[in-house]
Amino acid sequence: MTCRGSDNFGLAGIGALVLLLVVGCGAHAAQPNAPAASPTPRASASSVQHRPITTDLKTRRRVLLGYSVDHRRITAYEVGDPDSSRRVLVVGCIHGNERAGVAIARALTRVSPTQDVDLWIVPMLNPDGAAAGTRTNARGVDLNRNFPYQWRRNGSRGSLTYPGPRAGSEPETRLAIALMNKVRPSLAIWYHQALGVVDNSQGPRALERRYAADVQMSLRKLTDYPGSAVGQEDHRFGPTAFVVELPGGALSTAAVHRHEQAILDLAGHLPPG
Ligand SMILES: [Zn+2]
Q: pLDDT band at 15, cuts 50/70/90?
A: very low
Residue 56 has what pLDDT? 56
- pLDDT at 226 > cutoff 70: yes
- pLDDT at 273 > cutoff 80: no
Q: Looking at residue 43, what DSSP letter applies?
A: G
Contacts of 115 (CB under 8 A, 6+ apart): 86, 264, 267, 268
Q: pLDDT band at 36, cuts 50/70/90?
A: very low
pTM: 0.81
Question: Considering the chain, what is the average pLDDT of its residues?
Answer: 83
Q: pLDDT band at 194, cuts 50/70/90?
A: very high
Give the distance (Å) from ligand 1 centre to CA of residue 269. 27
Most confident segment among 6-20, 41-55, 214-228: 214-228
Range name among 5-14, 65-74, 82-91, 199-208 with the lowest pLDDT average: 5-14
Residue 203 has what pLDDT? 84
Give the distance (Å) from ligand 1 centre to CA of residue 99. 9
Give the distance (Å) from ligand 1 centre to CA of residue 201. 15
Give the distance (Å) from ligand 1 centre to CA of residue 21. 32
Give the distance (Å) from ligand 1 centre to CA of residue 254. 23
Per residue in 55-113, pLDDT tens? 355 899 999 999 999 999 999 999 999 999 999 999 999 999 999 999 999 999 999 99
* Cα distance between residue 139 and residue 96, in whole Å: 13
Mean pLDDT of all residues in 206-235? 96
In 112-228, where does DSSP find H-type helix?
127-132, 171-183, 205-215
Are 80 and 186 in contact by the 8 Å Cβ rule? The answer is no
Q: How wide is the angle at C-alpha 56 spanned by C-alphas 52 and 60, nearest 5°?
A: 90
Domains defined for the chain, CATH in brackets: 11-268 (3.40.630.10)
Most confident segment among 6-10, 13-17, 29-33: 13-17
Per residue in 131-181, pLDDT tens? 999 999 999 999 999 999 999 999 899 899 999 999 999 999 999 999 999
Widest distance between CA atoms in the chain: 60
CA dihedral 86, 120, 163, 3 (to 10 degrees): -140
**pLDDT top residue among 39 and 221:** 221
Q: pLDDT band at 197, cuts 50/70/90?
A: very high
* Cα distance between residue 18 and residue 193, in whole Å: 31
CB count, 10 Å around CB of 118?
A: 24
